[in-house]
Structure 1
Amino acid sequence: MKKITRFFWFCSGAHIDTLKKYPVEHNKYIGIGATIFFTALFAALSGGYAMYFVFSGNAFAVGFAILFGLLWGTAIFNMDRYIVSSINKEGTTNQQILQASPRILLAIMIGIVISRPLELKIFDKEIRQKLKTAYIKGQQSKIDTLQKTYQQKYTMEMGKVGELKKEKDSLEKDINRTRYQLNQEVFGDKTNQTSGVVGYGTYAKQKAAVLKEKEDRLKTVTENLRQMDGYLSARKDYEGLNSTKLFSETQLDSLAAVAGFSDRNWALGQLSYNQDGSRDLDTYLAISFIGWLFILFECLPVFVKLMSPRGPYDVAIAKLSEAGEHLAERDKQRDIAVTDEVYDHHLEADIDKRKRLITGQSEYDVSRHSYD
């Protein structure tokens, strides 16, 4: 327990040697340190999960996720530890809040970054279903676009096919009717279309000739229709209509499994809306609650430090800081004094040198004058 206590003290950013002297403050800084530690732990899990999706499918995805998770968790731990330890309890409440406001904003940003990947994991099943629906709609829209483009490009050919089909249907009906009348003519059935004479006579030959002509025309129309269908089928292959089909359930599962971070993040945002575009309040509140929970969890160490009253440890730290400032000021003044002393020494030496130069020059002038 002593090792755990010291570890959480270290996490809180407290000066351990000073904190040991004030047992009343021990539990407070254990709580602050534990909050910072678990926030960094969640950050490591969140960052590792996000990186795992970035490298999903790669053989080293797990290794990259673990490495980035450790780095990200360490960075968040260091920032949280600095934020909490740098809050000064000397000022008034308003001054402390003003001092902590940039740190709170930073904590909010960190909480948002931490919560998003974990939200993606929590709503993984709903995200997969939303992605499947989006993929089906996207594929259907693609097929509709290809179909519309195809119809616009080959309107004349498709119209010709329609005409040939109508003519084929009409010919088949006429051939059936003419064949029936020919049978009536041959067997001597008396109608308003037959002579009633049994045998293959003149009228029967005429009807047989008409039947042969219609059958020949039907063969021609059928062949033309077959050629046009082959041409349009080849055009469908060229335009991609035949190869573009709706995804099967297996394909949808595969696509949802390999979806990237951006697609999954989009799907998570879409979960808050119904099919008609209205807000799905229950899902929206659930997603928002998780996000705000992590933001609160990230801001909790700062809030705990702000809400806690000024204790003996804070007074001791303030005195240590003040003593350090006095020592620094004294060292500064000493350095200034030493600098001034050195400067004065150099200044005096420079003055003496100038005096000697001036004195030497005068003696030289006097000697030259005497010689002259």
Structure 2
Amino acid sequence: MLKQFFIICSGADTDILKNSAIGEQNKYAGIGATVFFTALMAFIASSYALYTVFDNLFASIGFGFVWGLLIFNLDRFIVSTIKKRDHFVDEIIQATPRLLLALIIAVVISKPLELKIFEKEINQVLLEQKNELTLANQDQIALQFTPKTEALKQDIMALQNEVTTKEAEVNALYGTYIQEAEGTAGTKRLGKGPVYKEKRDKHDAALAELQALKEANAAKIATTETALAQLKANYDAQVTTTQPIIDGFDGLMARVTALGTLPWLPSFFIFLLFLAIETSPIFAKLLSPKGEYDFKLEDQETAIKSLVEQKVQERKLAIKADFAINDRVYTDLAEEEELYEYKRKKARELMQLQADAFYKGQQKLF
């Protein structure tokens, strides 16, 4: 039963092969097994590839099954349409487009399986790429917030410098009136005289201004720091929002691109393996000698071809004979006086009817 199933997979004529030698049956069973297992590998490969796209097991298996059937049908068609010829060159010519199609199918089948075989290495490459994308994303987002952040920091620094400058001024005034009281500067008179009082009042006024400035600038700095904190929160929120997109950067195209960064030799060997599997039925038919099945199939096809050509030729001769008979019949009829008088009478009646119809049409115009 399994042998019969594989023979069906090979696309061979089961009625002819049933009456052929066991060796012929085994040959086509082997070809059919290759076609079947190639389609099975296509089903597995496409299911994995589609799972990386849809992330849904049932959808991937469903589409993978359809893809496997498509590859099975193509392989079966390729193998079944290769016929043994009398010259090997003719066989190569008819097999060339089928070999090109087999090459394309081998690429399509092998690539998803390469992704699965080298999954760990691809994940490492994707991790490095994700890290680079994360840093680049943070830098790009920072470019949106850096100008505002720097401006706010400059405002805070300006407010702090203003307070520092005022404190220096107050400290200088403090030193001035202390030195006046000690007699080491100013009037150089020891004691708290009018000049001392004037300098003390000036210092006290500046100190009051300093306190007011500190309170005002502290409020402004607090507001600015709140704005800075809000910018930082917005930056973190945007980074958090965009990070899942980077984390999801592991689709089919990303994995194929990552596979391209790995050494090409292992992937090439896997491709050669599937190319050999895909083209093996074709080469098996090309290299095998013309067997019993091929002779029977050729006999059946040539018999049908001869029959069809004979029928076509008979139709051509029948049409030619019919034309000759018609020519003779109408030639004889043309010489009969009775037929001439009959057609003359009918033609006269027809012309009278046409004249009457024209006359009635003219009357309606008046």
TM-score (norm 2): 0.73
- Give the whole-Å Cα distance in 1 for the aligned partners of 2:132 and 2:215: 43
Letter in 2 for 1:317: L
Aligned to 1:217: 213
- Whether the aligned pair in 2 keeps the contact of 1:111 and 1:291 (CA below 8 Å) is yes
Aligned to 2:138: 143
Aligned to 2:42: 43
Letter in 2 for 1:16: T
- Whether the aligned pair in 1 keeps the contact of 2:10 and 2:80 (CA below 8 Å) is yes
Name the SS of the counterpart of 1:89 in structure 2: coil
- Give the whole-Å Cα distance in 2 for the aligned partners of 1:347 and 1:73: 63
Aligned pair 1:115/2:114, yes or no? no
Letter in 2 for 1:266: A
- Give the whole-Å Cα distance in 1 for the aligned partners of 2:2 and 2:295: 25
Aligned to 1:92: 87
- Give the whole-Å Cα distance in 1 for the aligned partners of 2:342 and 2:208: 152
Letter in 1 for 2:293: Y
- Give the whole-Å Cα distance in 2 for the aligned partners of 1:168 and 1:295: 80
Aligned to 2:21: 22
1:119-198 equivalence runs, <5 A? 119-152=114-147, 156-166=151-161
- Give the whole-Å Cα distance in 2 for the aligned partners of 1:66 and 1:353: 77
Could you give the per-residue CA deviations for residues 325-353 of structure 1, whole angstroms, max 9, x where no partner exists? 21221121122233334444444443343
- Give the whole-Å Cα distance in 1 for the aligned partners of 2:318 and 2:339: 33
The alpha-carbon deviation at position 134 of structure 1 amounts to 3.1
1:48-59 equivalence runs, <5 A? 48-56=47-55
The alpha-carbon deviation at position 35 of structure 1 amounts to 0.5
- Whether the aligned pair in 1 keeps the contact of 2:49 and 2:252 (CA below 8 Å) is no
Query: Per the alignment, do residues 350 and 107 of structure 1 end up closer, same or farther by CA in structure 2, a change over 3 Å counting?
Result: same
Name the SS of the counterpart of 1:245 in structure 2: helix
The alpha-carbon deviation at position 153 of structure 1 amounts to 5.4
The alpha-carbon deviation at position 207 of structure 1 amounts to 7.4
Aligned pair 1:288/2:261, yes or no? no
- Give the whole-Å Cα distance in 2 for the aligned partners of 1:331 and 1:350: 29
Aligned to 1:5: 3
Letter in 1 for 2:54: F
Aligned to 2:253: 265
The alpha-carbon deviation at position 100 of structure 1 amounts to 0.9
The counterpart of 1:83, out of the listed 58, 78, 86, is 78
- Give the whole-Å Cα distance in 2 for the aligned partners of 1:331 and 1:47: 49
Query: Per the alignment, do residues 106 and 14 of structure 1 end up closer, same or farther by CA in structure 2, a change over 3 Å counting?
Result: same
The alpha-carbon deviation at position 48 of structure 1 amounts to 3.0
Aligned to 1:244: 238
- Give the whole-Å Cα distance in 2 for the aligned partners of 1:291 and 1:327: 47
Letter in 1 for 2:93: L
Letter in 1 for 2:39: A
- Give the whole-Å Cα distance in 1 for the aligned partners of 2:164 and 2:122: 52
- Whether the aligned pair in 2 keeps the contact of 1:49 and 1:65 (CA below 8 Å) is yes
Aligned to 1:335: 315
Could you give the per-residue CA deviations for residues 17-41 of structure 1, whole angstroms, max 9, x where no partner exists? 3224222323221211110011111
- Give the whole-Å Cα distance in 2 for the aligned partners of 1:364 and 1:266: 87
- Whether the aligned pair in 2 keeps the contact of 1:12 and 1:36 (CA below 8 Å) is yes
The alpha-carbon deviation at position 255 of structure 1 amounts to 6.7
Query: Per the alignment, do residues 72 and 264 of structure 1 end up closer, same or farther by CA in structure 2, a change over 3 Å counting?
Result: closer
What is the number of residues matched between the two proteins? Answer: 330
The alpha-carbon deviation at position 234 of structure 1 amounts to 4.2
Could you give the per-residue CA deviations for residues 272-291 of structure 1, whole angstroms, max 9, x where no partner exists? 43xxxxxx43xx32233323
Query: Per the alignment, do residues 243 and 288 of structure 1 end up closer, same or farther by CA in structure 2, a change over 3 Å counting?
Result: same
- What is the CA RMSD across the aligned residues, in angstroms? 4.0
TM-score (norm 1): 0.72
The alpha-carbon deviation at position 359 of structure 1 amounts to 5.2
Name the SS of the counterpart of 1:244 in structure 2: helix
- Give the whole-Å Cα distance in 2 for the aligned partners of 1:346 and 1:52: 72
The alpha-carbon deviation at position 113 of structure 1 amounts to 1.5
- Give the whole-Å Cα distance in 2 for the aligned partners of 1:247 and 1:122: 33
Query: Per the alignment, do residues 294 and 236 of structure 1 end up closer, same or farther by CA in structure 2, a change over 3 Å counting?
Result: same
User: Stretches of 4+ moved more than 6 A in 1?
Assistant: 169-172, 201-210, 362-365
- Give the whole-Å Cα distance in 2 for the aligned partners of 1:210 and 1:96: 108
More moved, 106-115 vs 220-229: 220-229
- Whether the aligned pair in 2 keeps the contact of 1:123 and 1:268 (CA below 8 Å) is no
Gaps of 5+ in 2: 179-183, 345-366
More moved, 46-55 vs 91-100: 46-55
Name the SS of the counterpart of 1:87 in structure 2: coil
- Give the whole-Å Cα distance in 2 for the aligned partners of 1:292 and 1:147: 48
The alpha-carbon deviation at position 83 of structure 1 amounts to 1.0
